[in-house]
Amino acid sequence: MSTKAVLITGANGEIGHGLVARLTEKHPDIRIVAIDVHPLSKTLQEKCHEVIVGDIMDTSLLDRLAAFYDFGTIYHLAAILSTKAEREPVLGHRVNVDGTLGLLELAARQARATGENVKFLFPSSIAAYGLPDVPAKMKAGKVKETQWLDARTMYGINKKYCEDLGRYYNWYYRQIDPQPTTAHVDFRGIRFPGLISAITLPTGGTSDYGPEMMHYAAQGKVYDCFVPETATLPFMVMPDAINALLKLEASPASNLTQVVYNIGAFSVSAKDFYDVIKQAFPDARV
């Protein structure tokens, strides 16, 4: 008999650290199966039922997981982030799209086998949006979830396509089967802004200049900021991001009207970051 568990891919990443901690704090008896290409810290390992150092592209690994576990919820966090995906677009597409497709197939197989929906939580990104120029951006004003979805980076294109894959697996999977299965992948995506974590170091996101500035200041290092001081982007602190992800997971399916949601927090410029950081670290050099 398969063991009921929660699967977290990319568990060693920025979101993964906080998510594992919050889930075990909220549900002490939860069984977390964590996957990452890098080993987890001893503290994180102790919170998990099983830790696998492996690649989500390894189909034999996914087959083994499907054989031993019954996943009611999958948090698919593993990804190649924006900066690296732009420098290595083929790798970005392979991991971000093909990797997601493999996990969606795992979830679909388990839903068909158990007759129960499998929740699939997917952190998407505001990189899914794209406007052609600054005048268009100024004219657009507030943008709805369904507007300006013309991503201009490999990462954004990957995220938007995976949203569409999730929509397909949620509503249309194998729709021409003579007897379509009633259980399906319950895909729930959330488009995050730039995320700020005080615990983990940034790992290659376009919006990482804010968190990097903070971490460099704390370490007494000079930071070479890669955007001008006027650059302004929306951000969210990591505890709020994890709260949003958990609230979306806990929402009854009947309360959800779409499969992907945008979430907003606050917008600040690079100079705003610098000014606040200087208050905490007067010797910060940028």
- Region of 81 (left: φ > 0; alpha: ψ -120 to 50; beta: rest) is beta
pTM greater than 0.75 (yes/no): yes
Q: How many C-beta atoms surround the C-beta of residue 217 within 10 A? A: 22
Q: What is the pLDDT of residues 121-134, one digit of tens each?
A: 999 999 999 988 88
Average pLDDT over the chain reads 93
User: What DSSP line would sit under 116-146, residue for residue?
Assistant: S-EEEEEEEEGGG---SSHHHHHHH-S--TT
Domain 3-195+237-264, what fold? Answer: Rossmann fold (3.40.50)
pLDDT in tens, 220-242: 999 999 889 998 889 999 999 99
How many CA atoms does the CB half-sphere of 184 hold within 13 Å? 17
Structure tokens at 158: 């990957």
| Coil, strand or helix at 50 | strand
Model confidence over 100-109: pLDDT tens digits? 999 999 999 9
Name the pairing type of β-strands 266-269 and 232-237.
Answer: antiparallel
Domain positions in the chain: 3-195+237-264
